[in-house]
Structure 1
Amino acid sequence: MFRLPVLVALTLAIAFGGGVWSASWTLQATSGFGAIRLGPWSAYPELQTASADPFAKAHRAGDGRLLLGRAEGLVFTASSDETGTPLSGRCSYEVSGSTPPARFWTLRVIDENGAALEAPPRVPTSLNSWTTLRKADGSFSIRLDSVATAGNWMWLDAEGEISLVLTLIDSPAAASLNMVELDMPKISRIGCTDA
């Protein structure tokens, strides 16, 4: 007598639970389609536009962050170095080269949850185009390490994997159709404290 309702309830619970789990897993597995990759750097130029795919729109709604429109700028993220090795908070790196043309840019480090790193007081955890020292040819070299060095330096001492976020504000590259030709900074690992 109760067998049929129990089987129907069990079937609905499995279907509903499986649907919620698969949707959650899919959203965590991707930030959307249409990514461009330039070495270790990746960006989603269509993320804030009306033509964004459903996964990108779901991420945008779930994150609750204000994103840049395509005409306002472009956000590049790197989770690995030039060799494809994931970035670690226990290693030191050098970010060198130049950025695509932009009125203003920032470079910051985030942890694996997307949060800014907790740093000691008065220690730089980000740099921008106005505060970065440059060479005569316009290129730069930024050291990421737990020990301060002369020149461009950002503090890096964290557990787990990290990512670098390069934000280009008011950049003609955001509207360019030839983004694959952009010059992006190189990320080279110098050494690790736990290796």
Structure 2
Amino acid sequence: MKSWHRYAIALAGGLALGLGAAWWLTGGGLQGGQIVNGPWTTSLGYGTKATGAITRAAVARAGLLALPAKETVYWSSKTDAAGAPLDGNCRYSLSGKLLDARWWSVTIYDAAGYLVANDANIWSVNGANVATDDQGVWRVTIAPTRPIEGAWLPGIKDQSFHLTLRMYNPGPAFRADPEKASLPAIVKEGC
């Protein structure tokens, strides 16, 4: 075998190994942020130069187009309150009090990071379209079938999913201690 063949094979192998490792390292989405609050994780470095190269690559791969934390905080959850993976076959209650932000939304994504395909064309709820009860608590059902009443995010049978909570212009109380902020609870009600 000629020496240039060996170099070409080594180069191709190195590129394949490097690209495969980069794809694997950035494939976890936004999980593993340095701030954990119940099932939610985030990093206040998303959208800034302060984050490492792998985090910036994961944010870019997720297609987040992240803003800095003073403008938006992005929380991600792949598990419920008990730590079990979110399952499209199950019914969940997503609930909480109004968040310390100018505006907020929760969006449902499939395991690959795309909006969940559904006939209802519903992918997100936000602080403007969920009603609160007399205690100031809002509730959204996440399930493959629409509930009789109330806000709903459709899960897809036989598919796992994850949620992204976006808090736009978070308030000073939240920014002071995001680990202790009151975030929505994700409770499995049944499968």
For residues 98 and 34 of structure 2, the distance between their equivalents in structure 1, rounded to whole angstroms, comes to 18
Aligned to 2:141: 143
1:68 maps onto 2:67 in alignment: yes
CA displacement at 1:127 relative to structure 2: 1.6
CA displacement at 1:30 relative to structure 2: 6.0
Aligned to 1:133: 131
Contact 1:32 1:55 in 2 (8 A): no
Contact 2:29 2:62 in 1 (8 A): no
Aligned to 1:13: 12
CA displacement at 1:99 relative to structure 2: 4.7
Change (3 A) 1:129 1:88: same
Aligned to 2:43: 44
For residues 124 and 30 of structure 2, the distance between their equivalents in structure 1, rounded to whole angstroms, comes to 24
Q: Secondary structure at 1:94's aligned position in 2?
A: strand
TM alignment of 1:98-113, pairs within 5 A: 98-113=97-112
For residues 151 and 132 of structure 1, the distance between their equivalents in structure 2, rounded to whole angstroms, comes to 8
TM alignment of 1:1-195, pairs within 5 A: 2=1, 4-29=3-28, 31=30, 34-121=33-120, 124-145=122-143, 146-172=145-171, 176-192=175-191
Q: Secondary structure at 1:176's aligned position in 2?
A: helix
Contact 1:77 1:165 in 2 (8 A): yes
For residues 57 and 180 of structure 2, the distance between their equivalents in structure 1, rounded to whole angstroms, comes to 30
* Unaligned segments of structure 1, at least 5 residues: none
Q: CA RMSD in A?
A: 2.5
TM-score of the pair, normalised by structure 2: 0.85
TM-score of the pair, normalised by structure 1: 0.84
Contact 1:43 1:74 in 2 (8 A): yes
* Unaligned segments of structure 2, at least 5 residues: none
AA at the equivalent of 1:143: T
CA displacement at 1:3 relative to structure 2: 5.0
Q: Secondary structure at 1:170's aligned position in 2?
A: strand
AA at the equivalent of 1:126: S
Change (3 A) 1:151 1:7: closer
Which shows bigger deviation, 130-139 or 14-23? 14-23
Change (3 A) 1:173 1:55: farther
